[in-house]
Structure 1
């Protein structure tokens, strides 16, 4: 049984369907045939990035799904070759790096993953059910199912299961349930980033992209504001502008435009002045990152695993959550190879070391480059921050360095690829004197008819 029909829950259900006679996905929402944002997924109204490694795993789980998504009007491109990145206010070089972008809105991506999961003959969706707690053996050493309650009914019921997966997100009650069952307190690690962002959708009347897929000015210590301005499904463009440490975009239209005007990519604001808003600006607040260290517990009940945001909530600016959820499902599959239920502590130790540690350390390094973010900055981290800035400087001059940096950011390559002596020397030589000179953004080009319906039409027009 999977608790939660999120993307993390769907990925988990997919791998479990290969090992169990039946997999039940329990969620408080209606899931089947839902096309728009779900009530229990507030981030569904905002940009949700699937990194290149996440796309690879998704395709492995559901062969052919990437092309199915593209055929549904979703734009695509290369994370380095077709995305205009600004770091420290300067645009880096662009080069194809083999990093497939799936520029789908969250509801669109979820729809396709859910449809392919529902097509599995042994997967059952238990919709409109609240999750009340776990069921266990009398000695509380093994979880045997979950207590649930159908919406609108007073009587609860127990659904028995050989294995329960908690995919209920940041609000997961597993730490509370463990304490109630007599297990230890789960150590939590958090960092206050004070992130706030606002999202709005548009139809463009002029083109700022010139063949690119997205324009992404990244926040930095000097200007703690950034944005993702990307083409998405339905012939629309999607803008999420963000600020950290309380410097949040306003939700009134003029205030939002004024905020966007301060970003390092002036072409975004210029394009908005010739765009048709399709909805109102919508805000989201993300005060702290969060990591639950289940791997540090002395003991853990059999028959229970935790995945996705229920384990680790990354700073969403780095778009790592869905990809880590996919890698978490891969980890579950690796622990199912013997045909027996996974051993929880072995799973959590593997998950922590091989899936969560690398991106967590990467984002910690970046988050703590902002002086106002509280946290320890040991010598090793300060060195990593200086080197990262050199990489970003060098990437404004060298396409190969930019591509390698984006491969690391896309979780395709581990950080060790940027620690090779030859690469480090090249970064030092290219980056020691700072970034390249700023170049003006290309001029806006009118779009015939006011907007482009599909990505293929856009490419043909271009």
Structure 2
């Protein structure tokens, strides 16, 4: 095939281009932003000043699409480490046991990560990344998408168009113009509000650990994360449902002190603040159910946040985008088979995030009886994982998208939960 067009130079768009260049003679990535020459925040990535988690599975897939990119990022100051041995995970109010997970995390700022990926993708044979190009419509012929139209009226013909334009994707509207139904949307109103500050990182902070993750609980619907970044920095993001942290240093530290564990509060009080604090609000998590459509125009695919925009507190977006880019390597690029493939990628992280959010006060929607039983079991699972490194490792494999959530309820896991002193596990329906 000759030409593929990708709408959006997001991480989803860039990794999609990395996959498509193996299939197409020419790949053109179009972005409405002025893309920075140096690694810097840009307007089109509103969350880039906040903590970004790239899960171990996402790093692995990114390295498969762009061999050696992790090593290149480490050479520029990023860190890697075992996500159980060198990280502090507090979930359901329980501190998970340490051990060797075999899961390698990559700690890097969004500007450096995106900048290096953009440099690598731009250097691929037959790939061009063009800034200041706003796509306003699709070209079509006999029901097939044949390219895109830019704001200045310029047509760009293509054999395949991939929409990686994020939450603001216009594909649902464009489908109507082509005589197709838009996809059903699943929405969860979360009203997540968060604030971020950066701090100077000393080597003795947190005993040399690289990551702190503190999840919210029904009794304390606040959470936070600290990640070690290049240039000896910490980035600390604190978040709440319906209310966020104050940005002044005293208020930020006070908010951290209300979390289910004291680690972030201690770090904030002991580290030197640098830079300006930032805030952000995410009102909803949205999943567009393209896989349920019976008709869809050939020549058009959708990926990344344009398909599913997760609650960012869980850090799954970039990894899911990488897995969806990998799905573009399949020989069958017809829309409906593609959407079914990526639905299987989205199902588990969507189940994890929505199930977790619906437990929290202020999140709209009710828990089903099955969800209640699952959560009752997981509370007991986390209690056991606080002193069973193997259970902690199994949990991290699920949250890093290696294993299905059902693996936490396997006979072996159930036995360890019972044997390791947690309250009696409740049965979970199949």
Q: Same fold (TM over 0.5)?
A: yes
CA contact 1:335–1:347 (8 Å) conserved in 2: no
Deviation for aligned residue 1:330: 1.1
Describe the shift of the 1:287–1:410 C-alpha distance in structure 2 as closer, same or farther (beyond 3 A). Answer: same
Unaligned runs of 5+ in 1: 150-154, 337-341, 435-462
Deviation for aligned residue 1:431: 5.3
Q: Is 1:403 paired with 2:393? A: yes
CA contact 2:381–2:422 (8 Å) conserved in 1: no
CA contact 1:205–1:274 (8 Å) conserved in 2: no
SS at 1:184's partner residue?
coil
Deviations 1:69-125 (A, max 9, x none): 111111221111111111233322111111111110111111111111111020011
How does 1:39-58 map onto structure 2 within 5 Å? 39-58=43-62
Greater shift, 66-75 or 371-380, is seen at: 371-380
Describe the shift of the 1:31–1:365 C-alpha distance in structure 2 as closer, same or farther (beyond 3 A). Answer: same
CA contact 1:15–1:330 (8 Å) conserved in 2: yes
Tell me the equivalent position of 1:438.
Answer: none
Deviation for aligned residue 1:233: 0.9
Unaligned runs of 5+ in 2: 425-430
How does 1:55-454 map onto structure 2 within 5 Å? 55-137=59-141, 139=142, 141-149=143-151, 155-204=152-201, 207-244=204-241, 246-336=242-332, 342-352=333-343, 354-430=344-420, 432-433=422-423
Alpha-carbon distance in structure 1 between the residues aligned to 2:391 and 2:404: 15
SS at 1:45's partner residue?
coil
Deviation for aligned residue 1:367: 1.2
Greater shift, 383-392 or 188-197, is seen at: 383-392
Tell me the equivalent position of 1:3.
Answer: 7
SS at 2:208's partner residue?
coil
SS at 1:349's partner residue?
helix
Alpha-carbon distance in structure 1 between the residues aligned to 2:366 and 2:185: 16
Alpha-carbon distance in structure 2 between the residues aligned to 1:34 and 1:398: 45
Describe the shift of the 1:237–1:408 C-alpha distance in structure 2 as closer, same or farther (beyond 3 A). Answer: same
Deviations 1:138-179 (A, max 9, x none): x3x111111113xxxxx3201110000000000101001111
CA contact 1:390–1:431 (8 Å) conserved in 2: no
SS at 2:298's partner residue?
coil
CA contact 2:19–2:65 (8 Å) conserved in 1: yes
CA contact 2:201–2:232 (8 Å) conserved in 1: no
Alpha-carbon distance in structure 2 between the residues aligned to 1:124 and 1:216: 38
Tell me the equivalent position of 1:36.
Answer: 40
Alpha-carbon distance in structure 2 between the residues aligned to 1:193 and 1:335: 38
Size of the aligned set, in residue pairs, is 421
Q: Is 1:18 paired with 2:14? A: no
Alpha-carbon distance in structure 2 between the residues aligned to 1:431 and 1:184: 53
Alpha-carbon distance in structure 1 between the residues aligned to 2:291 and 2:415: 37
Deviation for aligned residue 1:307: 0.2
Alpha-carbon distance in structure 1 between the residues aligned to 2:45 and 2:409: 38
SS at 1:170's partner residue?
helix
Alpha-carbon distance in structure 2 between the residues aligned to 1:215 and 1:347: 36
Alpha-carbon distance in structure 1 between the residues aligned to 2:421 and 2:272: 40
CA contact 2:225–2:264 (8 Å) conserved in 1: no
Deviation for aligned residue 1:284: 0.8
Alpha-carbon distance in structure 1 between the residues aligned to 2:155 and 2:9: 18
CA contact 1:8–1:322 (8 Å) conserved in 2: yes
Deviation for aligned residue 1:34: 3.5
Alpha-carbon distance in structure 2 between the residues aligned to 1:84 and 1:189: 32
Deviations 1:219-255 (A, max 9, x none): 11111111111211111111001111x1311223332
SS at 2:224's partner residue?
strand
Tell me the equivalent position of 2:427.
Answer: none
SS at 2:188's partner residue?
strand
Alpha-carbon distance in structure 2 between the residues aligned to 1:253 and 1:206: 22
Deviation for aligned residue 1:374: 2.2
Q: RMSD over aligned Cα, in angstroms?
A: 1.7
Alpha-carbon distance in structure 1 between the residues aligned to 2:337 and 2:22: 20
Deviations 1:258-310 (A, max 9, x none): 21222233242233223222112100101110000011112111100000000
Deviations 1:313-343 (A, max 9, x none): 111111110011011011111145xxxxx11
